Structure 1
Amino acid sequence: MNKQNRQAVLTDIIKFILAKGLVHYNEIEDYVHKSRKTVAKYLDEIEEEIAKSNINVKLIRRRNHGIYFNGDISQLMARYDVRRRELDRDSRLIDILHFLLTSNKQMTLIEVSEMLFISQSTLEKDLDYLRRNFGVQLSSNNQGIILDLSEDEIRKLLSAITKKSINSELNYDEMSSKFSLNFDVPDTLRAYINTDTLNLVQKALADFIQFDNPKINEYEYEALLVHISIAIQRIRDGDFIGENIVERELHPNTVHLVKILEKYFDIHIPKSEKQYLNLHILAIEGEEIDIDNDVIDSKIISLLEKSLVNYDITLISNLAVHLRSVVKRAAQGISITNPYALEIKTQFLESFDLARDLMKTLSYELPLIINDDEISYVAMHFQSFKERIRKELNNKVSILLICSTGYGTAVFLSQRLKELFGDRINIAKTISVEELSRKNIKADLIISTIPIKSKRENILQISPLIKENELEILKRLIGNIQDKKEKMHNRNAFMKLINKNSIFIGHSRLNKEQAIKLIASKLCSEGYVSSEMECAALKREALASTKLDNVAIPHGDIKYVNHPVIGVLVNQNGIIWDKTEVKVVFFIALNKEIDSSMDDIYSYFYDMISDQKRIEELGKLEKIIDIYNFLGGEVK
Structure 2
Amino acid sequence: MDSKLMEFLQLLVKNKTVRIGDFITQQKLTARQIRYREAKINDFLIENGLPKVTLKNGVYMLDLSEQQKIQLKELITNIDPYDYKMTSEERQEAIALLLIATNDYITSSSFAEKLSISKRTADSDISKLKTKLFPLNLKLDAKTSKGYRINGSERDIRNLCVNLLMRNIKLESKQYTDFLPLGQIVHEIYCDLYLEKVLEIIHLVEEDEGDKELTYESKLMLLMYLVTMIKRMSMGNIIEDYPELYDNQPQNRKYSIALNIASQIEDKFSILVPTKEIYMITMYLEGIQYIVPERYLKTDWMQMQILIDEIIQDMSKRMKVDFTNDKELYIDLQAHLGHTFFKIQHNIDITNLDLKEIKEKYLTCFNHLKETVKENKSSLLKGITDSEIGYLVLHFCSSLERRMRMLPPAKVAIVCLNGAATARLLRESILTRFSNISIIAVLPKVDLQLLRKMELDFVISSINLGNIDIPYVIVNPLLTEKDYVEINKMLMNYSENHTAKDDFDLMYSEFINNETIKDVQHQQDDLDILFNQSRLKLYQLLTPSYISFYNKARNWREAVSISCKPLLKNNDVNEMFVQSVVQSIQEAGPYVVFSKGVALVHSEVGYGVNRLAISLTRFEDGVIFNHPLFDPVKIVFCLAPNDYSSHVQALQGLLNLLEKYTIDELCEIDNSYDLFNMLERERW
TM-score normalized with structure 2 length = 0.24
Select the structure with the greater relative contact order (CA < 8 A; seq sep ≥ 6).
2
TM-score normalized with structure 1 length = 0.26
